[in-house]
C-alpha cells in the first residue's frame, strides 16, 4: 500500500521520502518512481525500536527539506489466535509500539514544523476490522489510531494543518493476505483524498479509500 501511495503522490507532483525497515526495502519503489519528474529520498528504521525511530527522524531532518505531507502507513499484526484468551503481553506491546506509539512519535517530530510553516497534511492509516477477537491487539490498536488522530486534530484546528485517518479496506497485501477483497492497486485514488484536502477541509475525520 505504501508503494501505491508513493506512486500516487508522485503523479501529483510531490517529492517523495520513502521509509522502510531497512535501506534495501525501498529499492523497488525507488526504481518505480524514476519515471516521474520528482525528487526521491529514502530513510530506514524499525518502528518497533525507540532508538531506530529516533534515528529515522534524524535522517529525515538531515535532508533539510519541508515535510508537507506525513503518511503514517506502517503497521503490524501479531499472529491469529484461535484461543482468543491467549494474546500475550508481547502481542499487545509490539502491536501498540508500531501501530500507535511510533505513529505518535512521527507526528510529534513533524507536525510542529507544519504548524510553523502554516501548512501540513497528516494521514494515519486505520482499519475498520470488526468481530475478530482472534486479532484483538490489532483491532484495538486501530481504534487507538482513530482516537489519537481525533485528539491531535484539536491541536491544529485553528491552523492550516489537517490530520485525518483512513481505512484502506481489506487489500491483497502481505498483511491483508491473498483472500482480501481488493487488489492493492484499488487503494488509489481514494487513499490520496485526505492528503489533498483544502486548508479549511476535514480535520480529525474518517476516510475510506474505496
Q: Per-residue pLDDT tens for 165-209?
A: 999 987 666 766 677 678 888 898 999 999 999 999 999 999 999
Q: How far apart are CA 16 and CA 127, in angstroms?
A: 24
pLDDT value, residue 177: 67
The parent domain of residue 196 ranges over 2-208
- Grouping H, G, I as helix, E, B as strand and the rest as coil, residue 46 is coil
Segment 45-49 shows an average pLDDT of: 97
Q: Which CATH number is 107's domain given?
A: 3.40.50.720
Strand partners, 44: 20
- Taking residues 109-125, what's their average pLDDT? 98
Task: Give the pLDDT mean for 67-86.
Answer: 96
Tens digit of pLDDT for each residue in 145-156?
A: 999 999 999 999
How confident is the model at residue 126, as a pLDDT? Answer: 97
**Which of the pair, 176 or 106, is modelled with greater confidence?**
106
The mean pLDDT of 63-91, rounded to a whole number, is 97
Q: What is the pTM of this model?
A: 0.94
CA dist., res. 80 & res. 5, Å (int) = 27
- What is the percent of the chain with per-residue pLDDT over 90, rounded to a whole number? 90
pLDDT of residue 198: 98
Letter string b/e over residues 116-154, b meaning 16 or more CB atoms within 10 A of that residue's CB: eeeebbbbbbbbebeeeeebbbbbbbbebbbebbbebbe
**Residue 205: C-alpha distances to residues 54, 63, 123, 129, 183 (Å):** 28, 31, 10, 17, 25
Query: How many domains are there within the chain?
Result: 1
Average pLDDT of the chain, as a whole number: 95
Q: What is the pLDDT of residue 175?
A: 64
DSSP 64: -
Indicate whether 121 pLDDT > 90.
yes
Q: At what angle do helices 102-117 and 136-155 cross, to 10 degrees?
A: 20
Residue 158 has pLDDT above 70, yes or no: yes
Q: What angle do CA 146, 148, 150 make, to 5 degrees?
A: 70
Q: Which residue has the cell 531506530?
A: 52
User: What pLDDT does residue 186 have?
Assistant: 87
What tens digit of pLDDT does each residue of 2-40 get?
999 999 999 999 999 999 999 899 999 999 999 999 999
Amino acid at each position: 500500500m505504501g508503494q501505491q501511495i508513493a506512486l500516487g503522490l508522485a503523479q501529483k507532483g510531490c517529492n517523495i521520502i520513502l521509509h522502510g525497515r531497512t535501506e534495501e526495502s525501498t529499492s523497488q519503489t525507488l526504481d518505480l518512481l524514476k519515471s516521474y519528474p520528482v525528487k526521491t529520498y529514502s530513510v530506514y528504521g524499525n518502528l518497533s525500536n525507540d532508538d531506530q525511530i529516533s534515528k529515522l527522524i534524524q535522517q529525515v531532518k538531515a535532508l533539510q527539506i519541508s515535510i508537507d505531507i506525513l503518511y503514517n502507513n506502517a503497521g503490524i499484526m501479531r499472529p491469529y489466535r484461535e484461543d482468543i484468551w491467549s494474546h500475550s503481553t508481547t502481542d499487545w506491546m509490539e502491536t501498540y509500539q508500531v501501530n500507535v506509539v511510533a505513529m505518535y512519535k512521527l507526528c510529534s517530530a513533524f507536525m510542529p514544523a507544519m504548524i510553523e510553516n502554516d501548512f501540513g497534511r497528516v494521514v494515519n492509516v486505520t482499519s475498520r476490522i470488526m468481530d475478530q477477537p482472534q486479532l484483538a491487539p490489532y483491532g484495538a490498536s486501530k481504534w487507538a489510531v482513530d482516537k489519537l488522530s481525533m485528539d491531535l486534530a484539536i491541536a491544529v484546528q485553528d491552523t492550516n494543518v489537517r490530520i485525518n485517518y483512513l481505512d484502506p479496506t481489506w487489500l491483497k497485501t502481505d498483511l491483508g493476505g491473498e483472500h482480501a477483497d481488493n487488489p492493492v492497486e484499488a487503494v488509489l485514488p481514494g487513499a490520496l483524498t485526505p492528503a489533498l484536502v483544502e486548508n479549511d477541509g476535514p480535520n480529525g475525520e474518517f476516510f475510506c479509500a474505496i
